[in-house]
Amino acid sequence: MTPSIIKALSINPLLLSALFAGLAASIVSGIIGSYVVVKRIAFISGSIAHSVLGGIGVCLWLEKSQGCTWASPIFGTLIAALLSALIISWIHINYREREDSVIAVLWSVGMAVGIIFISQTPGFNLELTNFLVGNILWVTPVDLSILWILDIIVIVIVLCLHHKLLILCFDEHQAQLQGIHTNTLYTLLLVLIAISVVLLVQVVGIVLVITMLTIPAAIANIFTTRLSRMMLIAISLNGFFCFSGIAIAYHLDWPAGATIALMAGISYLLSVLFIPGKK
């Protein structure tokens, strides 16, 4: 399998772009996914991931039906993800008892708006499928550039604020005692999750975003309790899942995003069942 996929990468620019997109998504999701798993906010991440369909639908409608060439789907994904993160953060800070309800509403409304606008867009069936279940071969050079820029932004922020984010994830009360502005930091963490979602939607689609954001980090957590090491393991696992998933999908003519997610899910089950450690 490996020699043939390497040969295919050398002659197929679409496949090579897909691999680079997978690598970009692997880095950021391994880092941010570790925070998500430790902080136990996977449900919030899922809400942000599903709400982005609204932004995608609006931009696709503007681009294809209204002739707005600037309305790129990745732009809509970014705006919707950031807006959802800021709304959830505001509710968490001011109305914490209603947080679960707001998360569920954002999840539902985002999906509903996206489906409505996509249904009014020519060729919506293909577009909807690509965004829901992923089509990594669909990544354009412009999208790839945006993904790597977002990747660099996330890495720089995490390097600067890792210690504070670490305290926030493990002991928010202790962070407050140390004078850390936990509300601002929590908002920033959700913004970083939103950026991660934008990256992962291009690789595995909206439905499977939460899989790649949480499973590699959850597997890494079996092997170590140190967050920095957990991130490195999660990044490596994400990269492995992306490369091997693309290779298997290429040979079996399967959807790449679903194949990547399936490998991650099976690996997690095997890790829990057969590897001694935290269960």
Q: What is the pLDDT of residue 189?
A: 94
Q: What is the CATH number of the domain that holds 247?
A: 1.10.3470.10
Range of the domain at 19: 2-272
- Residue 63 banded pLDDT, cuts 50, 70, 90: confident
Q: What is the pLDDT of residue 127?
A: 66
Who has greater pLDDT, 209 or 143?
Answer: 209
- Residue 279 banded pLDDT, cuts 50, 70, 90: very low
Q: Considering the domain boundaries, does residue 204 fall inside one?
A: yes
Q: How far apart are the first and last CA of the chain?
A: 33
Q: Look at residue 21 and tell me whether its pLDDT is greater than 90.
A: no
Cα 9 from Cα 206, distance rounded (Å): 26
Q: Are 206 and 53 in contact (CB under 8 A)?
A: yes
Q: What is the pLDDT of residue 220?
A: 94
Q: Considering the domain boundaries, does residue 157 fall inside one?
A: yes
Q: Which DSSP string do the residues of 7-27 spell out, in sequence order?
A: HHHHH-HHHHHHHHHHHHHHH
Q: Considering the domain boundaries, does residue 278 fall inside one?
A: no
Q: Considering the domain boundaries, does residue 277 fall inside one?
A: no
Identify the CA nearest to 56 among candidates 119, 149, 6, 136: 119
Q: Considering the domain boundaries, does residue 279 fall inside one?
A: no
Taking the model in full, what pTM does it have? Answer: 0.87
Q: Considering the domain boundaries, does residue 27 fall inside one?
A: yes
- Quote the number of domains for the chain: 1
Which letter does DSSP use for residue 236 in this model?
Answer: H
Mean pLDDT across 69-91 = 89
Q: Look at residue 211 and tell me whether its pLDDT is greater than 70.
A: yes
Cα 237 from Cα 220, distance rounded (Å): 8
Identify the CA nearest to 33 among candidates 243, 221, 224: 221
Mean pLDDT across 222-231 = 91
